[in-house]
Amino acid sequence: MVAEDHPRSFQAAYWDETFPAVCQRFSVAIALFVLFMGVGAFVEGRYYPERATQAWLLWALEAAAGIVGAGISWLPRLRARVLSITAASAIAVIALICTYHGGVGASAERLATVLGCMLNLLAVLVPWARQAQAVTVLGTLASFGAADPHLVATESMTFPWVVLAAAATTSVCAAVFLHQYRFEAFRRTALQAEEAEISAALADFGETLSRNLGQEGLLEQVNRLAVSALRCDFSSLFLFDERRGVYALASGFGGDPEALADLAGLDFAPDSLPLFARFQPGALIEMADTAEQDLVPPALMERLATASALCAPVARGERIIGILVTGYNARKGAFSRRQCRLALGIAHATAIALENTRLVGDLRAANRLKSEFVATMSHELRTPLNVIMGYTQMLADGAIGPDDPASYAETLDRIHRNAVELLELVSATLDMGRLEAGREAVASGTVHLGQLFAELAREVQPITPAGVALAWRSDFGPEPVLADRVKLKTVLKNLVGNALKFTAAGAVQITARRVENQLAIAVRDTGIGIAPEHLSLIFEMFRQVDSSSTRQHGGVGLGLHIARRLVELMGGTISVESRPGAGSTFTVTLPLRAATPVAAPATAA
């Protein structure tokens, strides 16, 4: 059940604030009454000297009844009875007025007017709502009824009764409408104050989390702040562990230490509790009494010392990545509107903090990789440049010259090979730049795999170690396929280049086959192989199994990344199988589309 507004708590808060106002306003009403009735008693004595004593005596009694009632209403221990006390006091005063008027046989119209004034004075001045006003009205009518036989009416007795009935009705209406208005104003102000308090608490929460972003103890901070903001006993944050597919406690604060230790040892599979099936982003789940619900076994809740709990999903978009559970060890009952709003806000801020922490981690990793790349790149660029400079210097010094044709040719060949390596490095970096900028477009055309293989065989021949048998085989024969020739060649050259680089002796085979409706090209070598933990990493940018400065093999860690990006651009996939010491097989699969057969030039097979 989602917690909602609690009107009863508003009512209680309203009366807590209104009771003192009732005492105060009733006292003012009595003071005004004593004043005006005093003036009345004085005028009565002047016009009817024979009634003067009675008039002053009754005035004193009325004043005493009013003052005593007002005085008692201020007593703190009678606070809950303020409405009854003030209404009783008002009725006593009114009964005394009626007694006097009946006793002296006064005018019924005058009495009805005095009572009407009194009732409206009370309704307007005293914020005591319809019940107290209605009771006072009934008391008034009864007192007037009792005095009725002794009163003197100028015309019919009906007129005073009509006047009194009208005054009584308007006074009750006034009390009802004023109460509604006051209560609504109170509710609006209270909501605004609560809203401001919630916003301030959440802003404070967000600021603390940003300050602690990426630091240890961030999650404990979340729970600590949740406990203090919600004023509850404990807060625990469970995060979904993608690898194990379970919810596990990431951090907890407050509550029973033994229960927390218990929780730390528990894993919850998403289908282990009905609770998980009920979660939706942005919706709270409230367990007002953990013994009376069917979302989590009550025995488990008892073991975890949880009497009531509020669960807020921590979501990244539509995906729930964790759950924030706050609650009480012993207190049962519904959570307030404020607590619900805060729990949701805290869960939301936590999701943002977790996402930011992940991004900060990614950025740090990317930064580290870039630094490694710059170091590797400088090294890779310097090595062939040094070789080129060394040999050209020797040529310039005449240490090697055309008079020794063998050394001369070999030197020129070395200079050339190093220059080619430099060019490849720069080309790979430019390829990366183009891919990153999204400028690489697929240009499909007719490709004769046999011809492509022959071309590649010629190009990699200079880098093929003496002890490696290089074999090319295509099941397609002269049949052409539709593909982006340039991209396919770049991919294969990278894979074959790696196979030759990491195979000192043995075999490297390149085979092209038709697998269902796919073109599958496998590059298999018997080289050093790759450990399983590195298999998922080698396709990432700048990743190398060995990136140390003392490594034996050249390269900047871009080849496989570029290959994968190009294959994906062509709508295909690239995968690897490998065993350390036994060699590796990289397989590229591309959607096979038939091309119009064209006579194939010479093939290498």
What is the Rg, in whole angstroms, of the alpha carbon atoms belonging to the chain? 46
The answer to whether 240 touches 262, Cβ cutoff 8 Å, is: no
Among 502, 524, 566, 590, binds ligand ADP (CB under 6 A): 502
By CB under 6 A, tell whether 521 contacts ligand ADP.
no
- The rounded distance, in Å, linking the Cα atoms of 153 and 162 is 13
For residue 425, the minimal CB distance to ligand ADP (Å) is 9
- Residue by residue, DSSP assigns 313-366 as EEEETTEEEEEEEEEESS--SPPPHHHHHHHHHHHHHHHHHHHHHHHHHHHHHH
For residue 536, the minimal CB distance to ligand ADP (Å) is 11
- The rounded distance, in Å, linking the Cα atoms of 484 and 413 is 32
By CB under 6 A, tell whether 415 contacts ligand ADP.
no
Among 530, 566, 588, 590, binds ligand ADP (CB under 6 A): 530
Alpha helix stretches (DSSP H) within 48-78 = 52-73
- Residue by residue, DSSP assigns 207-251 as HHHHHTTTSTTHHHHHHHHHHHHHT-SEEEEEEEETTTTEEEEEE
CB nearer ligand ADP, residue 214 or residue 554: 554
CB nearer ligand ADP, residue 244 or residue 553: 553
| Residue number closest to ligand ADP, CB atom | 555
- Lookup: tokens for 527: 């080289």
Number of residues binding to ligand ADP, judged by CB under 6 A: 21
Residues 456-495 that bind ligand ADP (CB under 6 A): 494
- Helix (H) / strand (E) element for 205: namely helix 158-211
Q: Who's near 201: CB < 8 A, 6+ residues apart?
A: 229, 342, 345
- Contact track, ligand ADP, 555-574, x by CB under 6 A: xxxxxxx-------------
By CB under 6 A, tell whether 544 contacts ligand ADP.
yes
- The rounded distance, in Å, linking the Cα atoms of 330 and 167 is 53
By CB under 6 A, tell whether 498 contacts ligand ADP.
yes
Among 260, 388, 499, 566, binds ligand ADP (CB under 6 A): 499
Count CB-CB contacts under 10 A for residue 580.
Answer: 13
Stretch that binds ligand ADP, among 304-312, 415-423, 455-463, 536-544 (CB under 6 A): 536-544
Edge-to-edge strand ranges of the sheet holding 319-328? 267-268, 246-254, 234-241, 319-328, 308-316, 285-287
Stretch that binds ligand ADP, among 94-102, 190-198, 554-562, 591-599 (CB under 6 A): 554-562
Stretch that binds ligand ADP, among 68-76, 242-250, 309-317, 520-528 (CB under 6 A): 520-528
By CB under 6 A, tell whether 322 contacts ligand ADP.
no
For residue 496, the minimal CB distance to ligand ADP (Å) is 9
By CB under 6 A, tell whether 587 contacts ligand ADP.
no
Among 233, 286, 431, 525, binds ligand ADP (CB under 6 A): 525
The answer to whether 463 touches 500, Cβ cutoff 8 Å, is: yes
Among 136, 326, 418, 584, binds ligand ADP (CB under 6 A): 584
Among 106, 528, 574, 590, binds ligand ADP (CB under 6 A): 528
The answer to whether 301 touches 262, Cβ cutoff 8 Å, is: no
By CB under 6 A, tell whether 432 contacts ligand ADP.
no
108: nearest Cα among 141, 54, 147, 56:
147
Instruction: List residues near ligand ADP by CB under 6 A.
Output: 494, 498-499, 502, 525, 527-528, 530, 538, 543-546, 555-561, 584
